[in-house]
């Protein structure tokens, strides 16, 4: 049986707000599609998670959650572009033995699928992903897992930042099990990740959160 490793959030981690982001010029746009992509492209069909309090799926399928917010609830400001812009902690359970890696897509369907995070080649043996991951091409603490380019034009995670007074936006965190290690360079786009994932995903689960300014 595969040994499982838990990656805990590092104490005293540095907030991404100090990394020189200019948030006012990087706000999501509700009425346009970034880079001409089709809304929702690259997000596998997912079973909606019935709550985010457990990672042990009763049916033996992939279970995915976060301790940062309830599934369908409000995303705390610290995980958004209006706050520290930290990536939230994530938990994974019931990963099929056939899975080799995990892949994650975070997007905003209320802004035409605006991409906030692309992450792949996470070892299937993990049962957690730490909060506040760095915006680097690869993540040594996740055995070299790779991050793609989001629609802010940056690597790694950028949190929700919908237009002011646009109402609540929904953010989808979609985790998939992958049967192989993807031969895809860090910094790749959502479309490239979607192409690489084709025919390799076995199970998918999703959590959602909302945020408005």
pLDDT of 202 reads: 87
Helices (H), 65-189: none
pTM of this structure = 0.78
Q: Which residues contact 116 (CB under 8 A, 6 or more apart)?
A: 106, 107, 108, 150, 151, 152, 157, 158, 159, 160, 171
φ/ψ bin of 179: left (φ > 0), alpha (ψ from -120 to 50), beta (otherwise): alpha
When pLDDT is averaged across residues 173-202 and rounded to a whole number, the result is 98
* pLDDT score for 15: 29
Position 12 scores a pLDDT of 32
Mean pLDDT score, 86-91: 99
Dihedral angle, C-alpha 180, 71, 89, 37, nearest 10 °: 50
Band (pLDDT 50/70/90 cuts) for residue 43 is low
Domains of the chain, with CATH numbers?
Answer: 46-211 (3.90.280.10)
Cα separation of 54 and 106, whole Å? Answer: 20
The whole-chain average pLDDT of the chain stands at: 82
Asked if 146 and 168 touch (Cβ cutoff 8 Å), the reply is no
Least confident interval from 16-20, 112-116, 122-126: 16-20
CB atoms within 10 A of CB 27: 16
By the 8 A CB rule, do 16 and 83 touch?
A: no
**Which one is predicted more confidently, 39 or 161?**
161
202 exposure class (CB count in 10 Å sphere: 0-12, 13-18, 19+): middle
Map tokens 């033996």 to a residue: 60
Across 167-178, average pLDDT: 98
Using alpha carbons, select from 83, 116, 79 the residue that is nearest to residue 17.
83
Instruction: Kindly list the strands in the beta sheet with 90-93, ordered across the sheet, starting from the edge strand earlier in the chain.
Output: 5-6, 126-129, 90-93, 63-65
The predicted model gives 74-81 an average pLDDT of 99
For residue 65, pLDDT over 60 is answered with yes
Percent of the chain with pLDDT over 70: 72
């Amino acid at each position: 049986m595969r040994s499982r490793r838990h990656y805990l959030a590092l104490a005293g981690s540095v907030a991404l707000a100090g990394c020189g982001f200019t948030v006012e010029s990087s706000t999501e746009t509700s009425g346009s599609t970034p880079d001409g992509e089709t809304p929702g492209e690259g997000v596998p069909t997912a079973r909606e998670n019935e709550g985010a309090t457990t990672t042990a799926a009763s049916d033996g399928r992939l279970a995915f959650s976060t301790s940062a917010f309830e599934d369908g609830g409000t995303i705390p400001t610290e995980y958004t572009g209006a706050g520290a812009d930290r990536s939230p902690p994530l938990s994974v359970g019931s990963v099929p033995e056939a899975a080799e890696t995990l892949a994650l897509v975070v997007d905003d369907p209320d802004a035409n699928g605006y991409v906030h995070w692309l992450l792949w080649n996470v070892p299937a043996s993990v049962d957690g992903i730490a909060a506040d991951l760095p915006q680097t091409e690869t993540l040594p603490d996740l055995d070299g897992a790779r991050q793609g380019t989001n629609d802010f034009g940056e690597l790694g995670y950028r949190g929700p930042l919908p237009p002011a007074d646009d109402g609540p936006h929904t953010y989808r965190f979609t985790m998939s099990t992958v049967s192989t290690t993807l031969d895809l360079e860090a910094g790749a786009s959502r479309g490239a990740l979607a192409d690489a994932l084709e025919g390799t995903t076995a199970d998918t689960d999703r959590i959602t959160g909302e945020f408005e300014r």
